[in-house]
Amino acid sequence: MPRTNREEQPVAVAAPTIDLVHVSHRFGHRIVFHDINLHVAAGQVAVVTGDNGAGKSTLLRIIAGLLKLQSGSVGVTVCGAIQDALARRRYLGYVAPDLVLYRELSGVENLEFFAGLRGITLTHELLKLSLQRVGLLGRGRDLVGSYSSGMRQRLKYAFALIGCPPILLLDEPTANLDSGGIDMVRQIVHGQRERVGGGLTVIATNEPREHSWGDVTVQLNGILTS
């Protein structure tokens, strides 16, 4: 894919939706979750809950196309077209504990590297905007190895938001963040609700404060509430 100098503009009339139908997953003989059904429309926030080891992170990886679907179906639609596991990645922003940053590179170098993998060339202004948005302006040239855990979490958000993806997948979204960082995440989630063209968010969490952000909640015992 050729590199583009993509502006920080939402995908026009993205109107994203996510539909999980009878999704099940197992590791070896252990069933992680069974018969999960979920519909998330543009302007909505879905919250995935469950005990530790119940498969919250696994479900987000399946939605992101990072883990092969074993049973059921996952439909991710953007701009009226269903996106396969590879194509959907350009429309996703993903934040998770297992998302690895290169500690021997600076924050800016990490953003440039990962943006390049997505075919995006970051201008100076876009880099500045990305760092400012997450409260890291002035720290972009520092090595990530010198960052606190909260700063690394903020940098993950800077990367996830590049290109204004219409879908955000957030696994433990406020992990390691202080009160200012939590407010930042809350504003990001609210921004997805209100964005022009439509946006949606899926959150995997057991934090009670984050449960209140959701319009739809799915527990990984297969019970769906709204």
Q: How many Cα atoms within 13 Å fall on the side-chain side of residue 101?
A: 30
Note down the domain range covering 175: 17-225
Q: What is the pLDDT of residues 89-135, one digit of tens each?
A: 889 999 999 899 999 999 999 999 999 888 888 999 999 999 999 99
Residue bearing the bigger pLDDT, 1 or 131: 131
Q: Given phi > 0 = left and psi -120 to 50 = alpha, else beta, which region is 172?
A: left
152 in a structural domain: yes
What pLDDT sits at residue 134? 98
57, 27 contact by CB (below 8 A) = no
What pLDDT sits at residue 221? 72
User: What is the average pLDDT across 46-70?
Assistant: 94
65 in a structural domain: yes
8 in a structural domain: no
CATH label of the domain that carries residue 109: 3.40.50.300
Q: Mean pLDDT lowest for which of 2-11, 13-22, 86-95, 189-198?
A: 2-11
5 in a structural domain: no
Partners of 20 in the β-ladder:
38, 74
10 in a structural domain: no
How many domains would you assign to the chain?
A: 1
User: What is the average pLDDT across 206-220?
Assistant: 93
d(Cα 107, Cα 131) in Å, to the nearest integer? Answer: 9
pLDDT band at 11 (very low <50, low <70, confident <90, very high): low
105 in a structural domain: yes
Predicted model pTM: 0.91
